[in-house]
């Protein structure tokens, strides 16, 4: 979802600023908002995010911060401050017309994902959306495996912008398609089977892969 379908950067900074302003009001933060550090680790599960951004805070404080951040993200999505990447609905329509199923596997939390899916009507194309919360290991490779098992998928591709997506594809015998979008890193993309700069490029790639699931 983040950095591949949804332009998280449009709501990330304002939501993070809201959150750290909240921490400042509680006298639990007294320096600048660590937006750059967050951008560097974008894509990891949120518990690991707060371990990184709030290393000296208690687990309880991190959990409270996480809950507040989620509230701000959801509110900003509902206010229309976010956006899908160009051609998301167009490529989804193309994929469905070619008898392929679409699943979202994300490190985002369930409520956050549901808000995006609902706001942009992604259920018109997406069979099911899966959150890392559904997997005890918080490992995207395991999350993708659970999708393959549930839907008895034998071949397909994982399209994503971060190493966790590429690793999830390779660990499960799928094609790894890297997205050279906002949060992508060259050293991570170099490990993908293919790299795209626009989702519309999938129109020529997927038929060649003979992906049916």
What does 131-196 look like in DSSP terms, one character per residue? EGGG-TT--HHHHHHHHHHHHT--S-EEEESSHHHHHHHHHTT-EEEEE-STT--HHHHTTSSEEE
Q: What is the mean pLDDT of residues 64-83?
A: 95
pLDDT the model gives residue 132: 93
Confidence band, pLDDT 50/70/90 cuts, at residue 183 = confident
Phi first, then psi, for residue 82 (nearest 5°) are -95, -175
Task: For residue 11, give both structure tokens.
Answer: 């709501």
Q: How much is the pTM? A: 0.88
CA distance 158 to 162: 11
CA distance 127 to 170: 22
Q: pLDDT averaged over the chain?
A: 94
How do 194-196 and 175-179 pair as beta strands? parallel
The predicted-structure confidence for 129-141, as pLDDT tens digits, reads as follows 999 999 999 899 9
Q: How large a percentage of the chain has pLDDT more than 90?
A: 85
Task: For residue 14, give both structure tokens.
Answer: 């304002």
Task: For residue 17, give both structure tokens.
Answer: 């600023």
Phi first, then psi, for residue 2 (nearest 5°) are -70, 130
Confidence band, pLDDT 50/70/90 cuts, at residue 9 = confident
pLDDT the model gives residue 120: 98
Residue 199 makes CB contacts below 8 A (sequence gap 6+) with 85, 86, 87, 88, 90, 91, 159, 179
No. of H helices and E strands in the chain?
A: 10, 5
pLDDT the model gives residue 210: 64
pLDDT the model gives residue 213: 46
Q: How large a percentage of the chain has pLDDT more than 70?
A: 98
pLDDT the model gives residue 211: 53
Q: 10 Å Cβ neighbour count for 187? A: 7
Indicate whether 47 pLDDT > 90.
no
User: What is the fold of 88-209?
Assistant: Rossmann fold (3.40.50)
């Amino acid at each position: 979802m983040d950095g591949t379908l949804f332009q998280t950067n449009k709501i990330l900074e304002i939501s993070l600023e809201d959150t750290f302003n909240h921490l400042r009001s509680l006298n639990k933060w007294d320096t600048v908002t660590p937006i750059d550090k967050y951008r560097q680790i974008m894509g990891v599960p949120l518990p690991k995010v707060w371990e990184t951004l709030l290393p000296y805070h208690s687990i309880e404080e991190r959990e409270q911060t996480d809950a507040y951040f989620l509230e701000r993200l959801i509110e900003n999505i509902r206010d229309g401050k976010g956006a899908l990447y160009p051609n998301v609905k167009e490529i989804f329509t193309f994929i469905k017309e070619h008898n392929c199923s679409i699943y979202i596997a994300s490190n985002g939390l369930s409520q956050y994902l549901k808000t995006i899916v609902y706001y942009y009507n992604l259920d018109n194309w997406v069979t099911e959306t899966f959150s890392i919360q559904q997997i005890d290991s918080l490992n995207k490779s395991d999350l993708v495996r659970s999708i393959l098992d549930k839907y008895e998928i034998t071949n397909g591709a994982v399209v994503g912008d971060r190493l966790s997506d590429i690793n999830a594809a390779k660990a499960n015998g799928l094609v790894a398609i890297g997205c050279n979008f906002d949060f992508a890193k060259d050293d991570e993309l170099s490990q993908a089977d293919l790299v795209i700069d626009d989702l519309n490029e999938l129109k020529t790639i997927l038929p060649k892969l003979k992906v049916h699931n």
